[in-house]
Structures are given as C-alpha cells and as structure tokens.
Amino acid sequence: MRIKSALLSAAIVLAGFVPSLGYGQAAGADRIVVMSAANVANLAHIYLLETLGFAKQEGLDYSVKTARANTLNLVVAGEGDIAAVGASAALVPVREGKETAIIYALGSGTALGFMAVTSKVKTIADCTRVSTTTPGTALYSVAMAFKAGTGATWSILGIGDSNQIVPSVLSGGSDCAVGALGFLQAGLDNGMRLLVDPRIPSSIPPNTIQDTVGSSLWGMKDNLQKKRAAVEKLMKALRRVEQYVKSAPLNEIAASLQKHEDFKTFKVDDLAKQIELERMFWFPDSGYIRAATWPSSLKYFQYGLSFIDPANRQYSWESRVDMSYWTAVYGQPARR
C-alpha cells in the first residue's frame, strides 16, 4: 500500500531499543491516539477520520499525530495507542518480547511498490542508488525485494522523511526511488518515469510484493484489549471513511484533509491529485487481513527485517494478527 513510512533509524532498529514508559500517558480509556509514520496521501484516510468528524460521531475521542521515525517507539512506550505504518513494523518489537497485534489493513502491499527513475535508467539493473525510507520500514522491504528479485547491485539510500525521497533524486543524490505513487508524483512531474507500476502486474519483479499487506494499524495487545470498546468504535469510523472516499469528489476529500494541522501547508489541488492516485489501494478487503495472505507478506517483510523467521510461531498470523475488533463490527468476512 502499500509503507508509507519511516519508523526508526537503522541504529535504533538494529539495537532493538524499545523504551518502556507504561500505557495510558497519552490516552484515557475512551480515547485513541494514532501515531502516523508520515503525512502523505497513502495514509490520508487516518487523518480524515479526525477532520471529517467520523470518529467523534461514533463517540470516540480520536487524534492522529505524525511521529515519523518515532512512530514505533512511541506506540511501544504507550505514548500512542496505535501505529499507522507498514505492517512489518509490528514485528520489530516481537523479538524483544513485546506483544503486538495488527488490527487493520490500510493499504495493500502493491501500494508501496512503485519505482520512479531518471531518464538515464532503462531497467532496474541500471539504477546505481535507490532512495527509499529507512531499514525496518515497508518501503525498505520493497526496495530490498526488488533488488534480490532482479539480482541488482545498487545501493539503498534510506531517508527518514518520505517526503524527501523525490528531492533526493532530483538533486542528484540517487537515480531511482521506491515509494507510494502519491509522493512519487512530484518526481514524475519533473522528468522521472515509472519503471515499476503495480497497476501493470507485468512490471513488478516476480516473487516480491504480490498478495501482501502494506500499511496497517497495529498496537500493543494489552493496551488494545483494555481499550476494546474504543477500538471497535474506531472500526465503525473507518467503515464510514471507506464509504465516503468511494463516492465523494476529490477536491472535497482534499479540502477535508487539508484541515488537519499536518497537511495545512499542502495545496488542495496537489492533495486531490495524490488522493486520486492512492485511494485505489486503500481499504483492501475493507481492512480485513486473511490468513492466506500472511505467508507471502512475511516473505516480503523478511527482505527488510532479516531476523524474521516465518517458521517461528511468534510471527504467525495467529500470533500477530487480531481481526476480532474487525469482526465485532463487520461480522465474519465473505469467503473468497
């Protein structure tokens, strides 16, 4: 979707640093605070929950804050209840004994699998340096998957702020970029072109991001269970946002998004264009994550987080995905 999506610096991820400050410091029992990895269009629906008032109308005291590289740490520490970021981030604290649960799919894995390149690049092998986000993020996994899947030898430039990925290419710091289509559009408007476009399946390197989970909502199991009533209200509000974005005019959606403090510097026309590109990847299966998609997702995550062992039960769908909040509101999903 698809992440997307800085989490931590490489040093913090590798060191496994996870502060422990206790839950409830930022949010009471009837309140949900979401920490978002980036104020970008592929996560716009999380901000719309607040600006459209849908969360409030469901009786939920809700707010979303752009935490960028601090997203993971703040949620594990209890300074936020839920992270909006690539699903792979939920697996990082697990190796430290922290119990996380992914509760909703915001976007499909293909949403994050776009590669934009300069005019000199004809194939993936021609890239010399690829800009994306930092190790441990969904976008980094995409870049590593593409590299492994094609046998390419380029290096990766990890950037903490996904809004700076395109500028790094345009300034000559790299010649290729991996990310969500919405924030790559600025590069396409300035002479870059799409080399990998998930809307054209034949352009995707094989065995990489097909049938995978992208950005998601996840939190700490104990905290989510304590706030079950609030989380279920969040599910109801998400359903309302899903219905709204499928029919509302683009400029109306963009104007609503711009009302959020973290998007006030964006132009409505620019936001509308990005939302048009991104919303086709939002709400895969209405946010439900099926057990059948998990093995391919784990393989994809493993490219960015080498410690993941798909055979280890602690990374299984049963251990890391909790759809009980979803089913409490939506009922059992239709069979495919």
pLDDT digits (tens, 9 = 90+) for 26-82: 445 689 999 999 999 889 999 999 999 999 999 999 999 999 889 999 999 999 999
Q: Are 42 and 167 in contact (CB under 8 A)?
A: no
CA angle at 65 for the pair 62 and 69, rounded to the nearest 5°: 145
Q: How far apart are CA 117 and CA 176, in angstroms?
A: 4
pLDDT of residue 27: 45
Q: Does residue 209 carry a pLDDT above 80?
A: yes
Q: How far apart are CA 91 and CA 88, in angstroms?
A: 6
pLDDT of residue 16: 33
Higher pLDDT, 101 or 277: 101
Q: Does residue 6 carry a pLDDT above 60?
A: no
Q: Does residue 13 carry a pLDDT above 50?
A: no
Distances (CA, A) of 143 to 136, 189, 265: 11, 22, 29
The model's pTM is 0.85
Task: Read off the pLDDT of residues 89-131 as tens digits, 9 standing for 90 and up.
Answer: 999 999 999 999 999 999 999 999 999 999 999 999 999 999 9
Task: Read off the pLDDT of residues 183-198 as tens digits, 9 standing for 90 and up.
Answer: 899 999 999 999 999 9
pLDDT of residue 57: 96
Name residues whose C-beta falls within 8 Å of residue 327's C-beta, 6 or more positions apart in sequence.
333
Task: Read off the pLDDT of residues 299-331 as tens digits, 9 standing for 90 and up.
Answer: 989 988 999 999 999 999 999 999 999 999 999
The long-range contacts involving 119-122, CB below 8 angstroms and separated by at least 24 positions, are 119/191, 119/192, 119/193, 120/175, 121/175, 121/176, 121/195
Q: Does residue 160 carry a pLDDT above 80?
A: yes
Provide φ and ψ at 283, rounded to 5°: 55, 50
Cβ-count burial 318-328 (b if 16+ within 10 Å, e if not): eebbbbebbee
Q: Are 74 and 35 in contact (CB under 8 A)?
A: yes
What totals of helices (H) and strands (E) does the chain contain, helices first?
14, 10
Where does residue 250 rank: exposed (0-12), middle (13-18), buried (19+ CB within 10 A)? middle
How much is the mean pLDDT over the chain?
90
Q: Are 112 and 132 in contact (CB under 8 A)?
A: no
pLDDT of residue 182: 87
CA angle at 123 for the pair 120 and 129, rounded to the nearest 5°: 65
Considering only CA atoms, which of 122, 178, 116 is closest in space to residue 147? 178
**Angle of the 268-278 helix axis to the 250-258 helix axis, nearest 10:** 120
pLDDT of residue 84: 97
Distances (CA, A) of 175 to 167, 187, 204: 11, 11, 19
Distances (CA, A) of 121 to 116, 191, 202, 274, 278: 10, 12, 18, 24, 25
- Could you give the strand order of the β-sheet that contains 100-105, starting from the edge strand earlier in sequence? 61-66, 31-36, 82-86, 215-220, 100-105
Q: Does residue 240 carry a pLDDT above 70?
A: yes
pLDDT of residue 28: 54
Q: Does residue 298 carry a pLDDT above 60?
A: yes
pLDDT of residue 239: 97
pLDDT of residue 336: 75
In this structure, the number of other CB atoms found within 10 A of the CB of residue 292 comes to 10
Task: Read off the pLDDT of residues 139-154 as tens digits, 9 standing for 90 and up.
Answer: 899 999 999 999 999 9
Task: Report residue 69 CA to chain centroid gap.
Answer: 13
Q: How far apart are CA 263 and CA 301, in angstroms?
A: 29
Considering only CA atoms, which of 141, 81, 59, 133 is closest in space to residue 305? 141
Structural domains of the chain, with CATH: 10-109+213-330 (3.40.190.10), 110-203 (3.40.190.10)
Q: Does residue 8 carry a pLDDT above 80?
A: no
What is the mean predicted confidence (pLDDT) over 250-268? Answer: 97
